[in-house]
Amino acid sequence: MRSIPQVLAAVACLLASLPVVAAPTRTRNVVLVVCDGLRWQEVFTGADPLLLGDKTAGGSWTSAAELDREFGGAGATERRERLFPFLWGTVARRGQIFGNPLVGSRVRVTNGVLVSYPGYNEMLTGRADPRIDGNEFGPNPNLTVFEWLNGTGEFHGRVEVFGTWSTLADIFDAPRTHLPVRVGATLVDPRDRSPEGRLFRQLYETTTRLYGSNPFDGFLHVALREHLKRHRPRVLFVGYGDTDLWAHMGRYDLVLETAHGFDRFVGELWQELQSMPEYRDRTTLILTADHGRGTGREDWKEHGVRQPGSEDIWLAVMGPDTTPRGERRAVTDLTQSQIAATVAAFLGRDFRSAVPEAAGPVLDVLAAPAGARAP
């Protein structure tokens, strides 16, 4: 005969395996924004003093004095607020942010590979796929939450993907899923024959790119804002990539500049959304990264199994269904795989009804008090 603790443990395991019943929400739209390879260290402690002051370690062309004037500070709180004024002044104040190990908070990548494609697959499908062991995997056979939502009546044709990294076309498997995916070279719409559209394409074609066909984040920001003037997606993915590219190049000064730019872009996107009746007080914003990076004088440039710490990422959420609790402490059990179900749950859908193996949503960010309003 089993003991009471054994029975309770068995019941807990059974409950954990059951799909989460989606509750009614105030959220009508979800925007998931990913900043590729942005470390938790910069998010929570700002510019790294080691890399800020050591030109050799940071590889900076900008002087340490100039970097310190722009991004330095008396402590971690001041540094992070100068680097990410929107994230800390608006998102963290009106929502929740997780992933600072220094205060006992952790968000982990579970795929074990710790590079981009496996990370995007994990966050979009709710589980790691051991077959996806690198960035050259090819078309993704897995069902993403974006494809699944687009297959429903309410959201069909209202799900869109924008990003700088051309491989996102494989990750979302645009030919199979028929999702509108504008990434890499396709970010520029060749059908736009307006003067602005022709100028935008000319600028893209004449700008030297760092990697393949991938445009800089500024191109993505302009294309997205122009798109929103004419279209109103209900579910939107946005993938910025400059921070990862400049880190791989070993240019910490440009990592800081593009991280600061990412914060500004997201702030402007949020203001744009809040100016539209379809989105105002009805939109949840989710911010995260696809993987972490190493630390120290060299490992900050790379990520993967050889760079300890690459499994640690961060997660921030703000919207009408999220109780404002700021920086979360002592929350150590969150995973990247929970993001897919969280996107669906904000829209009143249970992603695990379609993918039972997917991780459940982050319940903490789905518990807004009665009568709460969006920021």
**Domains along the sequence of the chain with CATH:** 24-366 (3.40.720.10)
Percentage of the chain modeled with pLDDT above 90: 85
259-277 average pLDDT score: 98
User: What angle is formed at CA 280 by the lines to CA 233 and CA 147, rounded to 5 degrees?
Assistant: 25
Instruction: Name the one residue in this structure whose structure tokens are 């003093």.
Output: 49
Chain-centroid distance, C-alpha 11: 34
Question: Residue 368: what pLDDT?
Answer: 61
pLDDT of residue 42: 98
Q: Tokens 């893209």 sit at which residue?
A: 204
Residues found in the chain: 375
pLDDT single digits (tens) 311-347: 999 999 999 999 999 999 999 999 999 999 999 999 9
Mean pLDDT for the stretch of residues 3-26: 50
Distance CA 172, CA 148 (A): 11
> Which alpha helices (H) appear in the chain, and where do they start and end?
4-17, 40-45, 49-53, 55-58, 64-71, 76-83, 85-86, 92-94, 116-125, 145-150, 168-171, 174-177, 195-206, 217-228, 242-248, 252-274, 296-299, 339-346
CA 4 to mean position of chain CA atoms: 42
- Pairing relation of β-strands 181-183 and 235-240? unpaired
Q: Which of 261, 311, 321 is nearest to 286 (CA)?
A: 321
State the amino acid at position 183 in one-letter form. Answer: V
Longest dimension (CA), the chain: 78
Place of tokens 């003037």: 229
Distance (Å, whole) CA 117 – CA 109: 12
Using the predicted structure, report yes or no on whether residue 7 has a pLDDT greater than 60: no
Tokens at 294, concatenated: 């190493």
| Single-letter residue type at 248 | H
Cα–Cα distance, 367 to 321 (Å, whole number): 6
Would you state the structure tokens that stand for residue 333, as one six-digit string? 């059990």
Q: How far apart are CA 350 and CA 99, in angstroms?
A: 25
CB-count exposure of residue 336 (10 Å: 0-12, 13-18, 19+): buried
Amino acid at the residue 352: R
Q: What is each CA distance from 66 to 17, 40, 45, 127, in whole angstroms?
A: 53, 23, 19, 43
Tell me what the mean pLDDT of segment 291-317 comes to: 97
SS3 content of the chain, % helix, strand, coil (to 5): 45, 15, 45
Report pLDDT for 233: 98
Is 82 a residue whose pLDDT tops 70? yes
What is the rounded distance in angstroms from the CA atom of residue 278 to the CA atom of residue 230?
A: 13
Q: Which amino acid is at 54?
A: D
**Structure-block tokens of residue 351:** 């992603």
What is the amino acid identity at position 257? E
Q: What's the pLDDT score for residue 22? A: 52
Q: Residue 207: its pLDDT value, please?
A: 92
pTM of the model: 0.92
Determine the Cα–Cα distance for residues 224 and 233; give it in Å rounded to an integer.
11
What pLDDT score does 292 carry? Answer: 98
The residue written with tokens 């929970």 in the block is: 338
User: Residue 86 phi/psi, 5° resolution?
Assistant: -75, -45
Q: What does the block give as tokens for 189?
A: 């719409």
pLDDT at 189 over 60: yes
Higher pLDDT, 190 or 174: 174
d(CA 364, CA 146): 22
